[in-house]
Amino acid sequence: MGAITLFTAAEYEPQEFDAVLLRDSVVVCVRAETDSVRLVPMDKVNHVDGDAEHLLVDTEIPESFYGGSNYGFVDTEQFPEIEDHLAELTDETY
């Protein structure tokens, strides 16, 4: 699986991350291997490129995962806690 790519107004080269969480005014970018986090103001983001299978919305991204998100792209294989959370959501009975 490929990484999620972020294109910003301030950088010529795109940056790759394992998770890109989009909020109202900021984008949270995470690299799993180094556990590093980068915050980018939404007005500096040109484009986020990720596979549709990496798209998670609303409750699929828990608040415990870097503060949650409205939606985002997450390579779930890099984050076992997200895989566990998605499994719990699937197992819920309404």
Mean local confidence (pLDDT), 65-81? 93
Domain locations along the chain: 4-91
> How much is the pLDDT for 3?
81
The predicted pLDDT at position 2 comes to 58
Residue 17 near residue 31 (C-beta atoms within 8 A): yes
Strand order across the beta sheet in which 71-74 lies: 36-41, 26-31, 19-22, 71-74, 55-57
Beta bridge partners of 5: 16, 49
- Tens digit of pLDDT for each residue in 14-43? 999 999 999 989 999 999 999 899 999 999
For residue 1, the model assigns a pLDDT of: 44
DSSP conformation letters of 24-37 = SSEEEEEETTTTEE
**Are 19 and 35 a contacting pair, CB within 8 Å?**
no
